[in-house]
Amino acid sequence: MKTLFVNACVRPESRTKILADYLLDKLGGEIEEVNLEKENIQPLNYETMLARDEMIKNPGGSDYMLKYAKQFAAADTIVIAAPYWDLSFPAMVKNYLESVTVQGVTFYYNEEGIPQGLCKAQKVYYVMTSGGPTSMPEQSFNFGFDYVKGLCQMLYGIKDVKCFKAEMLDVIGMDVEAILDKAKETIDNEPA
């Protein structure tokens, strides 16, 4: 089994990375990492969209702009580790997902205009930590996970999308280790 690990953890002491590593150890198998901070993926613009469209139309030549989409489509399992920033995730995650969402590689539209997934993965795990809450009694604002889940289920054809999170880590008086241990316990309870 090959797991694609999409790493958006920028801090050396990242608590998100601690949880992601714990999950990856549990999953076992081959791990292929994409470290988004090192990749420096730029957002699409008109010029890069034209270049990408040309690569899709004329396969066989250079297709460097499709490498992330092809890698994502071929993975057996996907783990995305992204800290909770500004109610979502770091901008580099959006840039990455933009490079993955390629018609003809990770999805296509059928004759009725309904997206059909082309990804091999059956499961995506989204791992995150946050300094405060990601929801209040009547409202959730975990827009990063909701966005990833929407893409996976609506476009990529991956129905099983799960979020592992540890919240409230920067709130005065909270026991950070106990919160992280509880998140690890949730990971332990996930069927393999």
Digit-coded pLDDT (tens) for 13-31: 999 999 999 999 999 999 9
Residue owning tokens 């946050």:
130
Digit-coded pLDDT (tens) for 65-116: 899 999 999 999 999 999 999 999 999 999 999 999 999 999 999 999 999 9
> Domains in the chain: how many in total?
1
Position with higher pLDDT, 173 vs 141: 173
pLDDT score of 58 more than 90: no
State how far the Cα of 134 lies from the Cα of 87, in Å rounded to an integer. Answer: 7
The CATH number that applies at residue 155 is 3.40.50.360
pLDDT of the residue at 43? 94
Q: For residue 108, what are the domain limits?
A: 2-188
Give long-range contacts, CB 8 A cutoff, 24+ apart: 171-177. 171/131, 171/132, 176/15
**Amino acid at residue number 172:** I
* 135 bridge partner residues: 140
